[in-house]
Structure 1
Amino acid sequence: MSKLIYFVTEDRYITLSPGNSYIENIFLEDELLGNALASLGYRYKRVSWRNRSINWENLEFVLIRTTWDYFDHFEEFNQWLQRLPPKACMNPKELISWNTDKHYLLDLAQKGIQIIPSTIIPKQHPNPLSQWVTELKYEHIIIKPTIAGAARLTYRLQAKQIKAFDLEFAKLNAQEDFILQPFVSSVTNFGELSLMVLGGKCTHAVQKKAKEGDFRVQDDFGGTVHHFTLTTELVELAEMVINLIQPEPLYGRVDILRNDTDQWMVSEVELIEPELWFRTAPSMVKYLAMAIHTHIQDHYENHSSP
């Protein structure tokens, strides 16, 4: 019998909603990957990570796909993650835990990766936001939680707005850590690039653009996505970033922005449930399917050794 891989999503995306392009795209991406895996002898089943009827401890192969609500139920998600067998996840569990908190950006910087300058404001810090900004000499900022996604509680503030935001920020910071970054102006004209790395190889890229008047590139806020032709520079950058992360991810996405001196900076590395945009490059799905196949073969070889 073919091996079964559980594609993990969330409750909102279990049922296909005809006419809802957002959910249709999720199903399309899973179908593309599922078909590629089927050609290698695998089956897949889509399940929600919050499905209490599943005995997660006994699953062999789990691919986290679209658990895009994990930050809304963070403690529950962590408990669920710990229930999975150590080798069940295609990306190692310790990497997934590490990647849930944007503190990881500072770890990347220590490895020599150029990131957007980032300062962590710990939970319940006594200093007002305006003091942090003054000391860092920023004129235009982005402030957001270290555990978040889909632009949750993400604020873009200019110098004249920051002092007035101190009280509101104190209330927010009382609940969780935040990350403070200078605003990168290129996001409003050029946008952000997402570079997909599958089995160690950078396979394809997309350019995400914010709608006019906004800075958020997510399609939740009217952003658009466009195929982007890879260059040697981009391939080398994406593969270098992924190769510096240990244990090395089986798959991931490297998001980058250009700074004012036209240099690339890493804005995010997505290793938990990255959207991989196979619908913009369907033939690239074979790289993830083969990486999963190789991972599973290694898994069985390791378990069959005396």
Structure 2
Amino acid sequence: MKVYILTSKEHADLFYDDKKLIEACKENDIDYEISIWDEDIIPDNSIVLFRTIWDYTKKEAQFRALLEDFNKRNIKTINPVDTIKWNMDKSYLVELYNDKAPVVPTYISKNYSHECIAKSKIEYPLVLKPLVGASGYDTFLLDSKDSVVDASVLLGREVIIQPFMKDILSEGEISFLYFKDRYSHSVIKSAGNGDFRIQEEHGGKVKRYIASKEELTYIDNILSKVEYEWSYARVDVVRSEGKLLLMELELIEPELFFRFSDNGESALIKSLGL
């Protein structure tokens, strides 16, 4: 059966790291087709693998409509639609925190205004970012109440407020990659070019990270609290006072860093059960 690999128009030929998925499909005799998520029509009863749909947050209503359309037409998505919907809204961080997962303190404002910072009781420096967002866009670091950073683009929007985790500047953010409940590989991402964001498009750097057994046990515990099905997961954490804290759990379209893995792309394709 064919798998439709969804991407964005910007990455119509796939992001360079995801090209390894094509090799894995060929090696496993799986038919595939690369499709633009907001342009191409996927046939009924198909199988879809979400990949570099990295502009979906800018077209949220259209993306949500697409998910409903997939459900109506019996299109199986990987990850499943219910999982995608749950993970789109970063309220899941509060959910996991309430379930005793080690999460960076998170305050959610459904209608952000400057007064929300005081209500959050989160101390400066702090980070503001959209409740539905990706890739560090519209994300702002405020070092004090007198900060001159202009975050007005967030006014009236759904926003999360978190303390700025200073260790992200010294050590970086660690990402643990899993395919079908099995650990695959890890990377560590560090900020660059004077920016606090660790994404490569903002000047960040990435290298392979060797995870310890203790760390993997810790990450397994976080994933055990997720009540939704998934075939791929990226767990982003930062170390604070020696303890790993969850920054984000990526179950929609995370960069999977196959280039730092030992056949991670093949593990993902095989997990589809085609």
Could you say whether these structures have the same fold, taking a TM-score greater than 0.5 normalized by the shorter chain as the test? Answer: yes
Structure 1 SS opposite 2:194: coil
Name the Cα RMSD after superposition.
2.0
The answer to whether the aligner puts 1:30 opposite 2:18 as a matched pair is yes
**What's 1:12 paired with?**
10
Give the whole-Å Cα distance in 2 for the aligned partners of 1:36 and 1:170.
45
**What's 2:245 paired with?**
265
Structure 1 SS opposite 2:2: strand
The answer to whether the aligner puts 1:128 opposite 2:115 as a matched pair is yes
Structure 1 segment 212-227 matched on structure 2, within 5 A: 212-227=193-208
Structure 2 SS opposite 1:58: coil
Map Cα deviations across residues 48-68 of structure 1 (whole Å, 9 max, x no partner). Answer: 10114x1x3514110000000
Structure 1 SS opposite 2:31: strand
**What's 2:128 paired with?**
143
Give the whole-Å Cα distance in 2 for the aligned partners of 1:248 and 1:67.
20
* Contact 2:140/2:151, CA 8 A, preserved across alignment: no
How many pairs does the alignment contain?
272
The answer to whether the aligner puts 1:203 opposite 2:184 as a matched pair is yes
Alignment CA distance shift 1:35-1:169 (3 Å): closer
How far did residue 243 of structure 1 move?
Answer: 2.7
How far did residue 160 of structure 1 move?
Answer: 4.4
The answer to whether the aligner puts 1:63 opposite 2:49 as a matched pair is yes
Give the whole-Å Cα distance in 2 for the aligned partners of 1:224 and 1:137.
28
How far did residue 130 of structure 1 move?
Answer: 4.6
**What's 2:264 paired with?**
284
**What's 1:157 paired with?**
142
Match 1:245 to one of 226, 229, 241: 226
Structure 1 segment 32-111 matched on structure 2, within 5 A: 32-52=20-40, 54=41, 56=42, 58-85=44-71, 86=74, 88-111=76-99
Identity, in percent, stands at: 26
Of structures 1 and 2, the larger Rg is shown by 1
Structure 1 alignment gaps of length 5 or more: 16-22, 297-306
Structure 2 SS opposite 1:268: strand
The answer to whether the aligner puts 1:114 opposite 2:114 as a matched pair is no
Paired amino acid for 1:128: E
Structure 2 alignment gaps of length 5 or more: none
Moved more, 79-88 or 265-274: 79-88
Give the whole-Å Cα distance in 2 for the aligned partners of 1:137 and 1:91.
33
Moved more, 244-253 or 181-190: 244-253
* Contact 2:45/2:75, CA 8 A, preserved across alignment: no
Give the whole-Å Cα distance in 1 for the aligned partners of 2:226 and 2:122.
31
